[in-house]
């Protein structure tokens, strides 16, 4: 079933000049970008995006990281896009990520982990709408 997911190439991966490599991995896996935006998060953009993690001990540090430099936000479309992107990314902690995954290649630790991907259809819907009006999706 074709579906959409939201991906973020985080500040650590942008600084490492890994944007091209990461987008190539999406495309090779059949995940087609249907919206793409490079942006600098404000603190409130980061806090709103990660609101589900508000009570977590790492929340402030995560938001500080996410405003530390530009990010690339994408909507990816394809069969089982949510699950496929999570497989491509690998485990949240790059040390536990499978060889060949994005986080294994570009992540540093559980916080500086190179990419974000929606984890369910409900979060994908919220996260896509957080950055893109429906009319900006080209797929």
Q: Which is nearer to ligand CMP, 8 or 23 (CB)?
A: 8
Nearest to 65 by CA among 106, 111, 13, 18: 111
Q: Which is nearer to ligand CMP, 3 or 135 (CB)?
A: 3
- Shortest CB 135 distance to ligand CMP, Å: 26
Q: Which is nearer to ligand CMP, 38 or 138 (CB)?
A: 38
Half-sphere exposure of 52 (CA within 13 A, CB side): 7
- Shortest CB 11 distance to ligand CMP, Å: 11
How far is Cα 57 from Cα 40, in angstroms, rounded to an integer? 24
Which of 47, 116, 128, 132 is catalytic? The answer is 116
- Backbone conformation region of residue 108, classed left if phi is above 0, alpha if psi is from -120 to 50, else beta: alpha
Site residues (CB under 6 A) for ligand CMP?
Answer: 53, 58, 62, 92, 110-111, 113, 116
Question: Is 116 noted as a catalytic residue in this protein?
Answer: yes
How far is Cα 92 from Cα 110, in angstroms, rounded to an integer? 6
- Shortest CB 113 distance to ligand CMP, Å: 5
Residues that are catalytic: 116
């Amino acid at each position: 079933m074709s579906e959409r997911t939201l991906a973020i190439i985080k500040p650590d991966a942008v600084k490492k000049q890994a944007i091209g490599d990461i987008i190539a991995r999406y495309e090779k896996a059949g995940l087609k970008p249907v919206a793409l935006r490079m942006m600098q998060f404000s603190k409130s953009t980061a806090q709103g995006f990660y609101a589900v993690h508000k009570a977590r001990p790492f929340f402030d540090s995560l938001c500080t990281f996410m405003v530390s430099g530009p990010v690339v936000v994408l909507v990816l479309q394809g069969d089982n896009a949510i699950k496929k992107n999570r497989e491509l990314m690998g485990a949240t902690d790059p040390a536990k990520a499978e060889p060949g995954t994005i986080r294994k290649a570009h992540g540093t630790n559980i916080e500086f982990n190179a990419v974000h991907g929606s984890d369910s259809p409900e979060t994908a819907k919220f996260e896509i709408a957080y950055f893109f009006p429906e009319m900006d999706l080209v797929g």
